Amino acid sequence: MLALVPIQWWHWASFVLVVVFFLALDLGVFHRRAHIVSFKEALLWTLIFFSMAMVFALTLVPVRGRNEAADFLQAYLVELSLSMDNVFVIAMIFQFFGVPERYQHRVLFWGILGALVARGLMIWLGTELIQRYEWTLYIFGVFLVLTAIKMLLREEEEVHPDKNPVVRWVRRFFPVSTEFDGQRLLTRSGGRLMLTPLALVLVMVETMDIVFALDSIPAVFGVTTKSFIVFTSNVFAILGLRSLYFVLANAIAYFQYLKYGLASVLLFIGMKMLVADWIKVPSAWSLGIVTGIILCAMVVSVFITRRRASSSPVSATTPPTDRA
């Protein structure tokens, strides 16, 4: 058996540089000019980012072993599936503020860039806590179990950006214009520098991502405590979130029952963390269980939604369309 290659500082630096390069390429070349992202374009980029994650997992096999590669895949899948819940919230935020479709990608770009920084800090903090106080994992486990139960019992909640304390704080201390100024976050009105409504949308998106990260990051730590795997799986999932939003934005009604699958995943990972000292679940088994739960939840959600739509006089759902 070959010895595992230890993760060095240059592994981190190389990964971050590659991510920065692709982000710069995205903003400076592919989306230099604001335009409406079509379903086909979004689907293509979703497949590209998914393929990149799979290739990265394959490169882990010879250098870090099959178990760590399986942990990466499981962590990536958990983060990506939990991000789908975030997609629905982002759609509500865009609808509330009336953000034109051609400007939505710019908000998601800066929002995801901020999310990468915030999650990097949260992962570093979580890693430090686990290394110094191993019992932190039990706290994460209990938190995930309670979150799963809350997700199963709660009713559908509406998003109220006007009541968000961060948005209200921004409005209180910074002047905000009433109209959009293209895709700019800052504008001038009467010689006065002001925030645009797009800036408020960005603040709201960043706030909601931090809230979702409080669930997803402990869940990933339930898969593995190796910081490099936790960070890279988060980055790949977040990078694909923009294109995933444009793929799912027109098909939200199809996945209204997905929360039961996500809650089951959180419950499984939380329980696995709590019994880890007595029962060890192999990485491959855990990956299979998480994958099975998510796929079943998606299939059942689409089946029930279609069945209800077909039995209703007026269809409540609209299939994805290719926006010009």
CA–CA gap between residue 178 and residue 20 (Å, rounded): 33
Helix then strand then coil, in percent of the chain rounded to 5, is: 75, 5, 25
Answer whether residue 53 shows pLDDT above 90: yes
For 186-199, write each residue's pLDDT tens digit: 888 777 889 888 89
For 111-151, write each residue's pLDDT tens digit: 888 888 888 899 999 999 998 888 898 999 999 999 899 88
Phi, psi of 186 (to 5 degrees): -125, 145
For 232-258, write each residue's pLDDT tens digit: 999 999 888 878 888 776 666 677 778
Check: CB of residue 83 under 8 Å from CB of residue 244: yes
CA–CA gap between residue 248 and residue 254 (Å, rounded): 9
- pLDDT of amino acid 269: 92
What are residue 192's DSSP bridge partners? 189
For 86-116, write each residue's pLDDT tens digit: 777 888 888 888 888 888 888 888 888 888 8
pLDDT band for 29, please (50, 70, 90 cuts): low
C-alpha dist (Å) from residue 200 to 35, 125, 185, 187 = 20, 28, 9, 13
Terminal-residue alpha carbon distance, the chain:
54
Q: For 28-32, 43-47, 163-167, 192-196, which range has the lowest pLDDT when averaged over its residues?
A: 28-32
Residue 202 CB burial class (10 angstroms; 0-12, 13-18, ≥19):
buried
Answer whether residue 85 shows pLDDT above 80: no
- pLDDT of amino acid 324: 35
For 257-311, write each residue's pLDDT tens digit: 788 888 898 899 999 999 988 888 888 888 899 889 988 988 888 888 778 777 7
Phi, psi of 151 (to 5 degrees): -65, -35
CA–CA gap between residue 111 and residue 114 (Å, rounded): 5
Answer whether residue 31 shows pLDDT above 70: no
- pLDDT of amino acid 160: 67
- pLDDT of amino acid 158: 61
For 197-230, write each residue's pLDDT tens digit: 889 889 888 888 888 888 888 999 989 999 999 9
Q: How many CA atoms lie less than 13 Å away from 204 in the CB half-sphere?
A: 25
pLDDT band for 30, please (50, 70, 90 cuts): low
Answer whether residue 51 shows pLDDT above 90: yes
